[in-house]
Amino acid sequence: MKIYKLVIFNSSRSKAAFWDTPTSFERIADVIERLQKHESGASPVINRFFERLEQVEATGVRFICGNADLSMEAVKFYAESVDDFSLYKILVPLVRQLGLTLVNPGENWMVQHDRIVGCRIFPASMRSTFEAYDPELWASFTDKAVIKKFVSSGLENLLAPLSFALKKSEEHEVAFERSSSQAHFQCAFNFAGRSHSQWFSLVFRVRLKPIMDYHSLAFQRNYPEISKTEASLSLGLKSLRWHVEPAWHAESSDALESCRNIEEARWMLDDFERLIIPIINQCAHLRGLYDLYCDPDIASRCYESLHVQSTSTYRAMQIAWQLGPEELERAAELVRERSRKEEPLPRVKLQDIDKEILRLKQYLIPTSDQDFLICQEQS
């Protein structure tokens, strides 16, 4: 059995990565040395690499990953194999799928997949060798239409049980909607090509119809100080990833909001199911939606949080009024408390809070919480 000493790193994450084609292995070794001295926390992508290695079942190959320091930018690991082909037939496709760089310091070669330059091999004379290990080596980045179809189908499978249906949209490439007499839900995403990546925007949004009617009345009666935006809650996948898994902060912004291939599109769908579906379920009732507005923890995930901007103050009170007059008073007191802490320059003045309460009572008609079932079929 032959022992292999290998190095893996993410050139999209590393500031010391190559911006031009390396001309010598000495330069590659220098970059690796600097990366191994740099601690930046665990990498979600490199973690996925080792998770995938643990799932590999191959005759004559054993991966020895126990001494890998995942807090380093460049991580050493060891493998044991009966021959080169058995080992690299596993590693080279995996590196391509995850967009990583694999280096063999003992044999002085590198295969790199970068979001900007695509696939690079050093030395170039090994091109045919790596093509034998991975026949799809140069097909690292999937066509936008293929990714779009994959993501659209995946979202449909996740959202159909919640009664969302695919809808045409002038604003979004793919949109799913669910409406009731009380509210309108939308999950939508867009892709925009950039170099070897497809940037995605995936957002979940809910709007309350009674609030929209209220704003229409307020506008007609010339109350310019009232926020004209209907009460809504928007959540982006990137901010949710940051919030739940802080290690994503160390990755490049590209890694958070782009899909280069089906592998990364699958991550996006997994994160959508793990992070956004529970919030959709929470918003199935007015109480859950109101709790999201008022929860300080949501501030790092949602721009419309009560704790982020002043217009959300009115939105939170509008939602509270749908739950009843007593809930409105409790929400108003929460806003007053925040305003007192912001003295001498509060985002919302105390007298404006009282004015908003009077207007809410004049225009809005409270609805019971059980009427707000928009993620479930009515029985």
pLDDT score of 160 more than 60: yes
Listed ranges 91-95, 236-240, 338-342; the one with the highest mean pLDDT = 91-95
Question: Peptide bond preceding 44: is omega within 30 degrees of 0, i.e. cis?
Answer: no
Domain boundaries, the chain: 2-133, 144-371
| CA distances for 91 relative to 163, 189, 317, angstroms | 41, 32, 55
Q: Using DSSP, state whether 108 is helix, strand or coil.
A: coil
| CA distances for 130 relative to 63, 65, 138, 356, angstroms | 20, 23, 10, 67
Mean pLDDT computed over 48-64:
87
Residue 104 has a pLDDT of: 96
Phi-psi region of 41 (alpha: psi -120 to 50; beta: other; left: phi over 0): left
| CA distances for 23 relative to 26, 138, 266, angstroms | 9, 21, 35
Q: What is the pLDDT of residues 225-250, one digit of tens each?
A: 444 445 566 666 777 777 677 777 66
Residue 375 has a pLDDT of: 42
Residue 227 has a pLDDT of: 45
Give the β-pairing of 197-208 and 101-104: unpaired
pLDDT score of 103 more than 70: yes
Q: Minimal CA–CA distance to 291: which of 273, 279, 308, 277? A: 279
Residue 377 has a pLDDT of: 42
Residue 290 has a pLDDT of: 79
Per-residue confidence band for 282, with pLDDT thresholds at 50, 70 and 90: confident
293 HSE (CA, 13 A, CB side): 30
